[in-house]
Amino acid sequence: MSEAAKKPKRPRVNVRRPDVMTQVNAEVERHFRSSLVEKIRAAGGEITLGNTTVRLAQQFGFCYGVERAIDLAYASRRVFPDNRIFLIGEIIHNGEVNRQLVDMGIVSLPWEQLTGDYDQLGEEDVVIVPAFGAPTNFMDKIEQRGCYVVDTTCGDVMKVWRRVRTYAKDGITSIIHGKAGHEETRATASRAMGENGKGHYLIVLTLDETDSVCRYIREGGDKVAFLERFAHAVSDGFDPDLHLTKVGVANQTTMLKSETEEIQRRVRDAVVARDGSPDNYLVFDTICGATQERQDALFEMLRRPMDMLFVVGGYNSSNTTHLVEIGEQELPTFFIRNAECLESLDQIVHFDLHEKSEISSGYPDVLLGDQPAVIGITAGASCPNNLIEDTIFRIFEMRGVPRDQVKAI
């Protein structure tokens, strides 16, 4: 019997009461809305002042899942003004949003493993589950402690869970395309073990990792070396000789669509090469609509010439990272946290995906020179519009257009 099963579950509290939501909506708007972004969108997504054009992608910024998670977190504070409120890790991957929650007295708990902090929780405490969800052992623990639970897990993430649970019930191993250390993928992997905990999963991130798995599916190989390579990316007791027989592919909701499709194709081909048929291969594309729309909008934006692109968002945001990957194939692309990264006339602080660290670079000549420039901006699903607004002001400022002139559009 699991710990949670020893006690009846505390009923979930509805924090989205109409009286509360009126106040929450006003507060969220005040913190994250941008009238400038709305004006530019209404004008077709582009603004030219002097010899500088700033172009916004057709879709960027907060998705429905993120908006809902933030609303629920804000509502929790209002419904439980005097209780201690905790959050498993971060509500979403954006420093600005997480800072607002800290200011509201919401305390982040460790998300990588269950620590003693969870044993200190009591029945009057509130625990918020983030938009990515949380692994089953975390959910068991907070329910066993009897806390109020405000679950903001996105419906699109839960769709993936339903899929991998079905795989587990049918004795199919889930091959999950995602980052093994990402909150969502950890939560999904725990569901891939099924209700009885006997299901199996294997997480792959790159095409190179996928090729190793495909080689093993086709020809078998060195089991010890295989398990060493995927040591932190497989279920307990995973045996590639047994658990790659029937496989089903699923993916973290925020992956790059083209890469996920390639992984699906390679795994299918490997199964067909081994069995002569695809009967032991299943697939379910679980990239969420919001991720897809933001990727599609960027591809569309890149069809027209631009001089450079800023992608704004948290450096640990998966969907934002993929926008950067798309952009940098085509033009100088800078992944920035916020406008403060545009430090001075000769420095952009930005995250280098290849170095995996924040670095400083000089601006491309286009930003410094007097010639006309078209500068694109997009942002991941966890980036609020106020950060985009600050970036727009800063770009124009560096191109010699004062803030008041931008405000007046």
| Residues assigned a catalytic role | 184
Using CB atoms within 10 A of its CB, is residue 208 exposed (0-12), middle (13-18) or buried (19+)?
A: exposed
Site string for ligand SF4, 178-217 (x = CB under 6 A): ----------------------------------------
Contacting ligand SF4 (CB under 6 A), which of 290, 324, 392, 406?
A: 290
Q: What is the token pair recorded at 405?
A: 């002139």
User: Of 144 and 260, which has the nearer Cβ to ligand SF4?
Assistant: 260
Q: Is 254 in the site for ligand SF4 (CB under 6 A)?
A: yes
User: Of 70 and 392, which has the nearer Cβ to ligand SF4?
Assistant: 70
User: Of 72 and 157, which has the nearer Cβ to ligand SF4?
Assistant: 157
Q: Is 291 in the site for ligand SF4 (CB under 6 A)?
A: yes
User: Of 125 and 184, which has the nearer Cβ to ligand SF4?
Assistant: 184
Name residues whose C-beta falls within 8 Å of residue 26's C-beta, 6 or more positions apart in sequence: none
Contacting ligand SF4 (CB under 6 A), which of 63, 348, 379, 387?
A: 63
The C-alpha R_g of the chain, in whole angstroms, comes to 23
Stretch that binds ligand SF4, among 73-81, 175-183, 225-233, 285-293 (CB under 6 A): 285-293
Least CB distance from residue 370 to ligand SF4, whole Å?
40
Q: How far apart are CA 175 and CA 267, in angstroms?
A: 9
User: According to CB under 6 A, which residues from 124 to 183 bind ligand SF4?
Assistant: 131, 154, 156-157
User: Of 291 and 321, which has the nearer Cβ to ligand SF4?
Assistant: 291
Site size for ligand SF4 (CB under 6 A): 15
User: According to CB under 6 A, which residues from 378 to 407 bind ligand SF4?
Assistant: 381
Helices and strands (DSSP H and E) totals, the chain: 16, 16
Tell me the C-alpha to C-alpha distance, in Å, between residue 32 and each of 29, 97, 113, 161, 335. 5, 8, 31, 30, 20
Tell me the C-alpha to C-alpha distance, in Å, between residue 80 and each of 110, 122, 130, 131, 219. 22, 14, 18, 20, 58
Region of 146 (left: φ > 0; alpha: ψ -120 to 50; beta: rest) is left
Element (H, E) at 223: helix 223-229
Q: Which residue is nearest to ligand SF4 (CB)?
A: 65
Nearest Cα neighbor of 240 from 209, 201, 193 is 201
User: According to CB under 6 A, which residues from 76 to 135 bind ligand SF4?
Assistant: 131
Least CB distance from residue 165 to ligand SF4, whole Å?
17
Q: How far apart are CA 74 and CA 72, in angstroms?
A: 5
Stretch that binds ligand SF4, among 64-72, 98-106, 194-202, 239-247 (CB under 6 A): 64-72
> Where along the sequence are the contacts to ligand SF4 (CB under 6 A)?
63-66, 131, 154, 156-157, 253-254, 288, 290-291, 319, 381
